[in-house]
Amino acid sequence: MKITRRQLRQLISEIRIKPSIPDVPSDDALNKIDLLARTGMPSADPLADAFGFPDDRSYSKELKDYDDINTIPSIELHKNMRAQDIINVYDHEYFTTNGQLRLYDHIAKVRNNMSKSEFDVFLRKLAEDVFQHASQQYVPVTNPFHAALTKHPLSHDEGIYRIYQVLKQ
């Protein structure tokens, strides 16, 4: 399914609008329902429904989505930093210690000798190699994006893709 830029902007705008309850009697009542929803109390959704929030939707979930939207840029930054850390370890162990060119110098050299499509295949393979190295050497769960301190784990495929995107830059 493809969406246009305009549709994407509309979706982003909609998620940034705090969900509302149509017939809530006061701001104080709304604040109390918000507090219940944010603390995970199951009574928040029935209360919201009683004041006119659609029965087929969850006020708690929509409020959580609204609250979480502001954390997306920091989550993305965290994931990119994790990918860069994994690349740096690979670079240090395979390029610096062996006295060879640094990884990004090696990538630049290879880019000059390949077509665009060949270079893309090369980067994808390199991303897999970097991911595999980190998985085998450092992380017993075989996914360096699932480390104990990682709040936002990625799947195997998303981890490789994230490394590929960083290498591509």
Domain boundaries, the chain: 5-57, 72-168
Contact between residue 69 and residue 117 where contact means Cβ atoms under 8 Å apart:
no
Q: Tell whether the model's pLDDT for residue 141 goes beyond 80.
A: no
pLDDT in tens, 63-106: 888 887 766 667 777 778 888 888 888 888 877 655 555 888 88
Phi, psi of 91 (to 5 degrees): -60, -50
Angle between helices 72-91 and 156-168 (to 10 degrees): 80
What pTM did the predictor assign? 0.53
Contact between residue 79 and residue 162 where contact means Cβ atoms under 8 Å apart:
yes
Q: How confident is the model at residue 14 (pLDDT cuts 50, 70, 90)?
A: low
pLDDT in tens, 22-55: 999 999 999 999 999 998 888 999 999 999 999 8
| CA–CA dist 31, 22 (Å, integer) | 14
Q: Which helix (H) or strand (E) holds 57?
A: none
